[in-house]
């Protein structure tokens, strides 16, 4: 099954690193059912994030590209610390959750059954993403463009981001001027928002990652009967 194969790949990498030598049998006496439930949800989030990254969706699940990854990493670290086991042991436990889903009588139903309890657990552990407004989206796309351009030059991805940033910035500037701002005041307000989001990232407060960036693509869509 495609999504379970993707899960197997993700679950054995990312936040929990595999070791090349065979570790000793771990002592799981301090591993609680809550720990197992957290790792089960981490595995489910890996499935859903993989599906979502391909542009598909699964009913009942929130966007997980950012929050799911954060939960996956934090859950692994918490279980290692609280249960007194190492990375290899956590890796093997997640692999066990993968196998349980793969061998379920109805794998899709088994995954769907985790949507509600795992989303509750996610919301308690990782703050929901903030829905950005037009000015925040303009800042987000500009910052993303700057990062990609610095790394790749004017690649196809950089060009796409530049277009989105230009569209969003123009719309926000027009809105600010319509609200009574001068052109200079509008530009300063937008620059301040960019600086604030960049500063949040530098301070470890999330920056772009705390926003639901997909909403920015919605805001950048052409108005009906108009073109960029």
Q: Which range among 83-87, 130-134, 175-179, 213-217 shows the weakest confidence by mean pLDDT? A: 213-217
* CA distance linking residue 119 with residue 125, whole number of Å: 10
Greater pLDDT, 55 or 215: 215
Greater pLDDT, 49 or 117: 117
Task: Tell me the average pLDDT of the chain.
Answer: 86
Q: Which range among 110-124, 126-140, 147-161, 190-204 shows the weakest confidence by mean pLDDT? A: 190-204
> What are residue 225's DSSP bridge partners?
none
> Is residue 207 very low, low, confident or very high in pLDDT (cuts 50, 70, 90)?
confident
pLDDT greater than 80 at residue 143: yes
User: What's the pLDDT score for residue 18?
Assistant: 44
* CA distance linking residue 57 with residue 90, whole number of Å: 28
Report the first-to-last Cα separation within the chain, whole angstroms: 41
What digits encode the pLDDT tens for the residues 195-206? 999 998 765 556
**Residues with Cβ < 8 Å from 10, sequence gap 6 or more?**
46, 49, 50
What digits encode the pLDDT tens for the residues 158-192? 999 999 999 999 999 999 999 999 999 999 999 99
* CA distance linking residue 65 with residue 81, whole number of Å: 25
Six token digits for residue 39? 């790792």
Q: Which range among 76-80, 87-91, 169-173, 224-228 shows the weakest confidence by mean pLDDT? A: 224-228
pLDDT greater than 50 at residue 154: yes
Could you give phi then psi for residue 26, rounded to 5 degrees? -75, 155
Burial (Cβ within 10 Å: 0-12, 13-18, ≥19) of residue 204: exposed
User: What's the pLDDT score for residue 102?
Assistant: 82
Residues of the chain with pLDDT > 90, as a percent, come to 60
User: What's the pLDDT score for residue 11?
Assistant: 45
What is the arithmetic mean of pLDDT over 48-62?
A: 87
Helices 87-102 + 67-83 axis angle, to 10: 120
User: What's the pLDDT score for residue 187?
Assistant: 96
User: What's the pLDDT score for residue 1?
Assistant: 47
pLDDT greater than 50 at residue 9: no
* CA distance linking residue 140 with residue 143, whole number of Å: 5
């Amino acid at each position: 099954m495609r999504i379970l194969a993707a899960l197997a790949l993700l679950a054995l990498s990312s936040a929990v690193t595999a070791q090349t030598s065979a570790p000793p049998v771990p002592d799981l006496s301090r591993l609680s059912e809550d720990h197992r439930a957290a790792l089960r949800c981490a595995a489910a989030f890996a499935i859903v994030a993989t599906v979502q990254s391909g542009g598909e969706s699964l009913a009942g699940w929130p966007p997980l590209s950012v929050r799911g990854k954060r939960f996956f990493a934090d859950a692994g670290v918490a279980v290692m610390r609280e249960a007194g086991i190492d990375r290899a042991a956590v890796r093997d436990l997640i692999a066990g959750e993968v196998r349980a889903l793969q061998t379920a009588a109805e794998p899709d139903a088994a995954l769907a059954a985790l949507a509600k309890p795992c989303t509750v657990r996610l919301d308690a552990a990782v703050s929901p993403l903030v829905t950005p407004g037009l000015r925040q989206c303009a800042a987000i796309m500009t910052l993303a463009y700057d990062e990609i351009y610095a790394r790749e030059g004017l690649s196809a991805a950089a060009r796409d981001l530049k277009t989105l940033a230009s569209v969003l910035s123009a719309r926000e500037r027009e809105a600010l001027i319509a609200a009574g701002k001068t052109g200079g005041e509008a530009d300063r307000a937008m620059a301040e928002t960019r600086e604030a989001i960049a500063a949040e990232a530098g301070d470890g407060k999330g920056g772009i990652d705390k926003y639901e960036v997909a909403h920015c693509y919605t805001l950048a869509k052409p108005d009906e009967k108009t073109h960029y």
